[in-house]
């Protein structure tokens, strides 16, 4: 399977990748490490993790939505704590302007993806009092998807001890292969280029 995704996963990736390129404005468009190419890889990791974890369509769509918006309101490439909250606000605004259905799970995952796990999980527990555990699980999966792209900073930049799920640990060879040419993962041979890799403006690289 190309990049390890099912046919449904491939189509989901293409649909959300088009949305990312066409519908999500970024403040820091010239970012070296937090622009649309990063969000596209996080999207890919989200779909792979969703399939590995056996998530349903609705939960997978939550992760995909968070992936394409999560860094869109960054001011710079530093820690920029608060960019997650700004991204959540942009997501709400785009839902209104594009006629999309707002999902509070997407908003809280984005708003706290740049905060410590304990704070994010506490906030989720307070907001989803009936049953917070499924949202906390999505939060952890999303943060792992974001972390898997740390190989863009260098071959030693991902410390797997900080990953939250076994499914994410199993994707380390694939994530590494996107930058280092490691073909050890069964689906990694095609790499990110298999999707017709595109630049930040949608042009082919």
Span 59-93, pLDDT tens digits: 999 999 999 999 999 999 988 999 999 999 999 99
Count the Cβ atoms, other than its own, within 10 Å of residue 31. Answer: 18
Are the C-beta atoms of residues 100 and 16 closer than 8 Å to each other? no
Q: What is the pLDDT of residue 192?
A: 36
Instruction: Tell me how far the alpha carbon of residue 138 is from its chain's centroid.
Output: 11
What global pTM score does this model have? Answer: 0.87
Sketch out the chain's domains with CATH numbers.
2-195 (1.10.3210)
Q: Three-state SS across 12-62?
A: HHHHHHHHHHHHCCCCCCCCCCCCHHHHHHHHHHHHHHHHHHCCCHHHHHH
C-alpha–C-alpha distance, residues 184 and 8, integer Å: 24
Region of poorest pLDDT, from 95-109, 131-145, 188-202: 188-202
pLDDT tens-digit map of 106-116: 999 999 999 99
Cα distances from 106 to residues 69, 109, 126, 171, in angstroms, run 9, 5, 16, 23
Q: Bridge partners of 204?
A: 198
Q: What is the pLDDT of residue 2?
A: 56
Asked whether residue 183 carries a pLDDT value surpassing 50, the answer given is no
């Amino acid at each position: 399977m190309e990049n390890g995704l099912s046919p449904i996963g491939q189509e989901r990736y293409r649909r959300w990748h088009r949305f990312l390129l066409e519908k999500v404005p970024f403040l820091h468009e010239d970012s070296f490490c937090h622009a649309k190419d990063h969000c596209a890889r996080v999207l890919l990791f989200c779909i792979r993790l969703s399939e590995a974890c056996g998530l349903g369509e609705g939960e997978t769509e939550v992760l995909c939505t968070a992936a394409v918006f999560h860094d869109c309101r960054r001011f710079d490439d530093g820690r920029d704590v608060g960019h997650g909250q700004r991204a959540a606000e942009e997501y709400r605004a785009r839902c209104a302007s594009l006629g999309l259905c707002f999902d509070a799970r997407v908003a809280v995952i984005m708003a706290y993806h740049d905060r410590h796990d304990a704070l994010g999980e506490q906030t989720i527990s307070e907001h989803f009092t009936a049953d917070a555990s499924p949202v906390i699980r999505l939060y952890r999966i999303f943060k792992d998807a974001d972390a898997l792209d740390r190989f863009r900073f260098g071959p030693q930049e991902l410390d797997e001890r900080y990953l939250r799920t076994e499914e994410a640990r199993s994707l380390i060879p694939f994530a590494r292969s996107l930058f280092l040419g490691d073909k050890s993962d069964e689906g990694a041979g095609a790499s990110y280029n298999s999707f017709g890799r595109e630049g930040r403006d949608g042009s082919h690289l």
